[in-house]
Amino acid sequence: AMDVPSVGTRGEAPWKKMSAEELENQYSPSKWVIQMRPEEALETYLQIGIEGTGMFTQSESTQKLFKMVTPVAQGVGHRPHIPEVHSEALHGQNVCKDESAFMVEVLTAQGVAVVIVGYDIAPRGTLDQMVDQVTRSVAFVQRQHPRNEGIYLCGHSAGAHLTAMMLLANWTKFGVTPNLKGFFLLSGIYDLEPIVFTSNNALLHLTLEDAQRNSPQLLVALTQPADPTCHVQVIVGQHDSPEFQRQSREFYQALCRGGWKASFEELYNVDHFEIIENLTQKDDVLTQIILKTIFQ
């Protein structure tokens, strides 16, 4: 019989047929940038981070991007305030929560309260601990702001993975059910198994079991959406690597099969990093998606 390549999510995962070198490439976002050399991208985006707003200045500089936005009631004399930032932190080896605050102003200017969540990245924290820290942070915000009009979670790259894990959280353990209205999952990974076989695992030390237990791609099929009206937007850059694009598309498909209200978008002409770079600007495509979703 002819060797017909499998289509969609059926059949063997395509990464299993890749050489070690090719797999490493696919899971190194810096190798797929379009405007710079890879080393330049690492320096620009991963080492010094994206320029901050100065709002959060205590730079412990070891945490990862994960942010959460909460629309609050606007009224005369009622200035939205930004709740205390957690000093907990995730698996990103790269960007810290302070550096992730660069996009808050465009949201706070519209009356949206923004919380940047930190967590203990590897090797300080295990992936299970990071997921737990983020879960507790979301529960904390709900407890502090029980009358919020809705909580939207947003994460990029490894942060999108942690954010996606919140779709599967068991909130009963935390004594509170967060008022989750929407998810923005940007250039994320949702099946962690291939990560085990890349250099990304040098600090993380994920076993196959750890990877499976923390793979939303595998878990969404086994869970019912708590709130079927909660909108999950899976968004990937046109110039993200083919593996990152496949992960986003297949996660979107899994969400649809699981009964979630999901949508998928490939953003034109941006790579893994550029996708969030213009979140400081009101007219940016992604900024507009976020604002329209919150204020619809």
Ligand X SMILES: N[C@@H](CC(=O)c1ccccc1NC=O)C(=O)O
Q: Tell whether residue 155 is a contact of ligand X (CB under 6 A).
A: no
Sole binder of ligand X in the list 106, 189, 230, 254 (CB under 6 A): 189
Look up 272 and say whether it is catalytic: yes
- Paired strand residues for 165: none
Neighbours of 175 (CB within 10 A): 9
Q: Tell whether residue 200 is a contact of ligand X (CB under 6 A).
A: yes
- Taking the complex as a whole, the smallest distance from the CB of residue 272 to ligand X amounts, in Å, to 7
Catalytic residue among 30, 100, 137, 157: 157
CB nearer to ligand X: give 62 or 179: 62
Sole binder of ligand X in the list 15, 23, 26, 27 (CB under 6 A): 27
Helix (H) or strand (E) holding 294: helix 285-295
Distance in angstroms (rounded) separating the CA atoms of residues 113 and 104: 9
Q: Tell whether residue 201 is a contact of ligand X (CB under 6 A).
A: no
Look up 157 and say whether it is catalytic: yes
Coil vs helix vs strand at 195 = helix
- Taking the complex as a whole, the smallest distance from the CB of residue 134 to ligand X amounts, in Å, to 14
Distance in angstroms (rounded) separating the CA atoms of residues 167 and 237: 22
Sole binder of ligand X in the list 94, 108, 135, 248 (CB under 6 A): 94
Tell me the Ramachandran region of residue 269: left when phi exceeds 0, alpha when psi lies from -120 to 50, beta otherwise: left
Q: Tell whether residue 118 is a contact of ligand X (CB under 6 A).
A: no
CB nearer to ligand X: give 252 or 273: 273
Distance in angstroms (rounded) separating the CA atoms of residues 226 and 180: 10
Do residues 252 and 217 make contact, with C-beta atoms less than 8 angstroms apart? no
Neighbours of 195 (CB within 10 A): 22
- Taking the complex as a whole, the smallest distance from the CB of residue 30 to ligand X amounts, in Å, to 4
* β 112-116/261-267 pair status: unpaired
Look up 161 and say whether it is catalytic: no
Provide the residue type at 141 as one letter: V
Catalytic residue among 120, 240, 271, 284: 240
Catalytic residue among 86, 231, 239, 272: 272
Distance in angstroms (rounded) separating the CA atoms of residues 150 and 17: 43
CB nearer to ligand X: give 93 or 110: 93
Q: Tell whether residue 157 is a contact of ligand X (CB under 6 A).
A: yes
Q: Tell whether residue 30 is a contact of ligand X (CB under 6 A).
A: yes
Distance in angstroms (rounded) separating the CA atoms of residues 291 and 296: 8
- Taking the complex as a whole, the smallest distance from the CB of residue 119 to ligand X amounts, in Å, to 13
What part of residues 45-64 is at the interface with ligand X (CB under 6 A)?
46
Q: Tell whether residue 28 is a contact of ligand X (CB under 6 A).
A: yes
Q: Tell whether residue 92 is a contact of ligand X (CB under 6 A).
A: yes
Q: Tell whether residue 137 is a contact of ligand X (CB under 6 A).
A: no
Distance in angstroms (rounded) separating the CA atoms of residues 235 and 279: 14
Q: Which of 60, 74, 171 is nearest to 116 (CA)?
A: 60
Residues lying near ligand X in the complex (CB under 6 A) are found at 27-30, 42, 46, 92, 94, 157-158, 189, 200
Report the catalytic residues. 157, 240, 272
